[in-house]
């Protein structure tokens, strides 16, 4: 049993600091561009009778929880694979081999394979993370009959859940119904975890009245999935790109569905298929990049930290920010100044090591006419304590440049303030 002496559960403040070391490179601009193009094409189908309710789904907001988005992406991917199976092609496609310059059979099969590969990557990601969380929790449990009972209970529970899925499939259920059950089962796992943390239900006697289960473990599993708990930091930071991908795959799915179902399927244009191909390529590439990135974040994320670390984070001035700047990138802070003779003040330091680390730093201003002025010329430095400049009105950008580096990740702690001009008291 791993020791929990001196440890407390991770906090949202700690995760905020931890995630600064793992900035996600923004999604390709093609995600938004192609999603908008497909949405425009879908609009053309809205005049067809009986299709409005399906089209309306495109405008629904993505779920807030990270894992629910993962399940939604998995559901939409399976629906697309179903549609791309040859037996479900429009009659027009089954009766002809080409559409313009597009050879239909290899074209559609290639799209199907891309989604099948992405589905495998996602399934592995979900399975690996579920095992990681469970095994980590179990490593802090007493290595006696209590741990054995909980493992056996989990195995029985998972067999029961799989039997429910198998029975539903045999009944001829839809993909949508199957995923509704899968998500219900996922929520049941959360409920059971919360029960363990609260020492209620089937685990009450096991963990509350028998000594040996660390309280810090019970505290962790009770609060980890709270709506405003530690994981909310993850949702705020990494949720937006995932939400965009969830909406994109739904858009692709509805696009294919409406083309296949439309009475005007014989009017599908080759250029629409090319847009579809581009969207599939971008979605599968960016979604796989995202889940591989999240896998790295999860694999290194701690569940428990020392009380000293929590105190250090809590005592840090809230105005300070900490971020890791990967090699070959820049970090920018943008703020607006409305009053002439205001001040911008900054203070930053870099985490030092045996090797000398420095970074490029500059400040520029863009006025209301769009003209840029270099306020602080570009220079290289290790830290810059207590610097400031007086300002005219405009938008200021403070830039830390690590683009010249091909190896080092800079750990930057900084504070930036905009101080309005001092108003002199009226003369008496």
Domain spans, the chain: 7-140+214-308, 320-419
359 burial level (CB within 10 Å; 0-12, 13-18, 19+): buried
Residue with tokens 């006697």: 205
Residue 205 confidence (pLDDT) above 70: no
Which pLDDT score is estimated for 69? 94
Which pLDDT score is estimated for 50? 52
Residue 21 confidence (pLDDT) above 70: yes
Contact at 8 Å (CB) between 242 and 66?
A: yes
Residue 204 confidence (pLDDT) above 70: no
pLDDT category at 31 given cuts 50, 70, 90 is very high
Span 84-113, average pLDDT = 84
Which pLDDT score is estimated for 73? 96
Distances (CA, A) of 114 to 80, 98, 206, 250, 281: 11, 21, 47, 16, 8
pLDDT > 70: percent of the chain? 74
Q: How far is CA 119 from the centre of its chain?
A: 17
Query: What is the CATH class of 320-419?
Result: mainly beta
Task: Answer with the residue of higher pLDDT: 421 or 78.
Answer: 78
- Comparing 83-87, 245-249, 300-304, the range with the smallest average pLDDT is 300-304
Span 108-116, average pLDDT = 95
Closest to 392 in 3D by CA, of 412, 373, 411: 373
Which tens digit of pLDDT belongs to each residue from 152-189? 877 888 898 889 888 988 888 888 899 899 988 888 87
Distances (CA, A) of 29 to 32, 122, 243, 245, 279: 6, 23, 14, 12, 12
pLDDT category at 224 given cuts 50, 70, 90 is low
- Comparing 120-124, 131-135, 413-417, 424-428, the range with the smallest average pLDDT is 424-428
């Amino acid at each position: 049993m791993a020791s929990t002496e001196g440890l407390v559960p991770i906090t949202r403040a700690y995760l905020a600091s931890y995630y600064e070391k793992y900035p996600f490179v923004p999604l390709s601009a093609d995600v938004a561009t192609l999603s908008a193009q497909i949405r425009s094409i879908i609009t053309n189908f809205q005049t067809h009778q009986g299709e409005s309710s399906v089209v309306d789904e495109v405008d629904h907001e993505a779920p807030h929880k990270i894992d629910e988005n993962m399940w939604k992406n998995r559901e939409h991917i399976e629906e697309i694979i179903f549609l791309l199976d040859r037996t479900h092609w429009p009659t027009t496609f089954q009766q002809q081999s080409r559409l313009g310059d597009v050879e239909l059979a290899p074209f559609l099969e290639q799209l199907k394979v891309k989604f099948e590969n992405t589905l495998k990557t996602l399934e592995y990601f979900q399975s690996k993370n579920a095992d990681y969380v469970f095994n980590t929790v179990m490593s802090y449990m007493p290595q006696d009959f209590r741990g054995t009972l909980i493992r056996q209970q989990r195995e029985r529970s998972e067999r029961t859940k799989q039997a429910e899925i198998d029975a539903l499939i045999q009944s001829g259920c839809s993909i949508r119904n199957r995923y509704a059950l899968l998500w219900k089962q996922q929520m049941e796992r959360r409920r059971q975890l919360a029960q363990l943390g609260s020492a209620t239900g089937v685990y009450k006697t096991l963990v509350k009245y028998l000594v040996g289960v660390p309280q810090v473990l019970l505290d962790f599993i009770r609060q980890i999935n709270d709506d405003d708990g530690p994981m909310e930091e993850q949702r705020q930071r990494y949720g937006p790109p995932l939400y965009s991908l969830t909406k994109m795959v739904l858009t692709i799915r509805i696009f294919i569905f409406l083309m296949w179902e439309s009475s005007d399927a014989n009017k599908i244009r080759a250029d629409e298929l090319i847009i579809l191909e581009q969207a599939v390529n971008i979605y599968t590439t960016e979604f796989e990049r995202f889940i591989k990135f999240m896998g790295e974040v999860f694999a290194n994320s701690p569940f428990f930290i020392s009380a000293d670390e929590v105190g250090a984070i809590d005592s840090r001035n809230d105005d300070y920010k900490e971020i890791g700047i990967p090699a070959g990138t820049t970090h920018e802070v943008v703020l607006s100044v409305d009053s002439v003779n205001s001040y911008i003040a900054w203070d930053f330091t870099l985490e030092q090591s045996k090797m000398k680390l420095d970074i490029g730093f500059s400040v520029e201003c863009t006025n209301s006419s769009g003209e840029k002025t270099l306020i602080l010329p570009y220079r290289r430095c290790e830290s810059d304590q207590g610097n400031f400049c007086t300002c005219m009105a405009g938008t200021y950008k403070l830039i830390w440049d690590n683009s010249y580096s091909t190896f080092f990740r800079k750990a930057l702690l900084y504070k930036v303030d905009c101080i309005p001009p001092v108003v002199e008291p009226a003369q008496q």
